């Protein structure tokens, strides 16, 4: 009888502990897809660089060392000596504009060069000097390089259209020959970011 009471007592204790442990058990967390596979977030674009090239990486040269005149505004037209300028020629009225700090030919400007290429194909005697210009923001050295890239970009576009590179010369004036001097608004700056043309014929 004593053993039976002892056994019953232990069974009672075990049952009580089972009830207590069941009541204290934490509910199992539900499996959440978003926890295991968080949504992909498109990264924010990096801040665009202000310059195509770090101006500090440009060659250390001065305008005085690169030209015999004090300012590029005083530079003569850069036609080769065996060519004579054709003043007032319709091609010299064409102006190709560029985005800020860019030298790529924009879609809106390509038809101008395609029309020019058609004319040059039909009139093989004409030569061009392509002038690269910039707005007044940035250093003189940087803009001289940017103007050269713009002029070369135009030259490359024309050569891709079949115009001989021997008929195309380039020169950069940086910001030294603005179309709108002392520009302050973005619209005025945009008119200074350009390529212009000098038309020449072989001298007799």
Q: Domain of 185: which CATH number? A: 3.30.1330.60
User: pLDDT at position 98, please?
Assistant: 97
Residue 145 lies in a domain: yes
The pLDDT score that the predictor gives to residue 102 is 96
Residue 10 lies inside a defined structural domain of this protein:
no
Q: What's the pTM value of the predicted model, to 2 decimals?
A: 0.64
Tokens of 43: 């990264």
- Bridge partners of residue 172, in order along the sequence: 132
**Does 134 map to a domain?**
yes
Total count of domains within the chain:
1
Asked if the structure places residue 198 within a domain, the reply is: yes
Residue 15 lies in a domain: no
DSSP H helices in 55-135:
63-66, 110-122
The parent domain of residue 174 ranges over: 83-202
Report how far residue 133's alpha carbon sits from residue 143's, in angstroms, rounded to the nearest whole number.
8
Q: Please report, in tens digits, the pLDDT of each residue of the chain (204 residues total).
A: 555 455 555 566 665 565 555 554 544 444 343 344 333 333 333 323 333 443 333 333 333 333 333 444 444 456 777 889 999 999 999 999 999 999 999 999 999 999 999 999 999 999 999 999 999 999 999 999 999 999 999 999 999 999 999 999 999 999 999 999 999 999 999 999 999 999 999 987
In a domain, 136, yes or no: yes
Hey, what are 36's tokens?
Answer: 């295991």
3-state DSSP call for residue 200? strand
Does 123 fall in a domain?
yes
Neighbour tally for 136: CB within 10 Å: 18
Report d(CA 87, CA 92) in Å as an integer.
Answer: 8
| Residue 107 in domain | yes
How far apart (Å, rounded) are the C-alpha atoms in residues 96 and 154?
8
């Amino acid at each position: 009888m004593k053993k039976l009471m002892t056994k019953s007592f232990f069974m009672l204790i075990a049952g009580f502990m089972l009830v207590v442990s069941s009541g204290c058990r934490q509910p199992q967390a539900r499996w959440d897809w978003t926890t295991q596979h968080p949504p992909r977030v498109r990264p924010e674009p990096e801040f665009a660089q202000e310059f195509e090239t770090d101006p500090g990486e440009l060659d250390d040269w001065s305008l005085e060392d690169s030209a015999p005149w004090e300012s590029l505004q005083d530079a003569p037209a850069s036609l080769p000596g065996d060519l004579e300028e054709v003043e007032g020629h319709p091609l010299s009225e064409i102006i190709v504009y560029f985005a800020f700090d860019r030298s790529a030919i924009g879609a809106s400007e390509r038809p101008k060069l395609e029309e020019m290429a058609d004319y040059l194909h039909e009139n093989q005697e004409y030569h061009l000097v392509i002038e690269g210009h910039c707005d007044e923001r940035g250093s003189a050295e940087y803009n001289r390089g940017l103007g050269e890239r713009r002029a070369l970009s135009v030259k490359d576009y024309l050569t891709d259209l079949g115009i001989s590179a021997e008929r195309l010369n380039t020169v950069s004036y940086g910001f030294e020959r603005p179309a709108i001097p002392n520009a302050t608004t973005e619209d005025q700056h945009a008119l200074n970011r350009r390529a212009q043309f000098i038309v020449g014929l072989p001298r007799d």
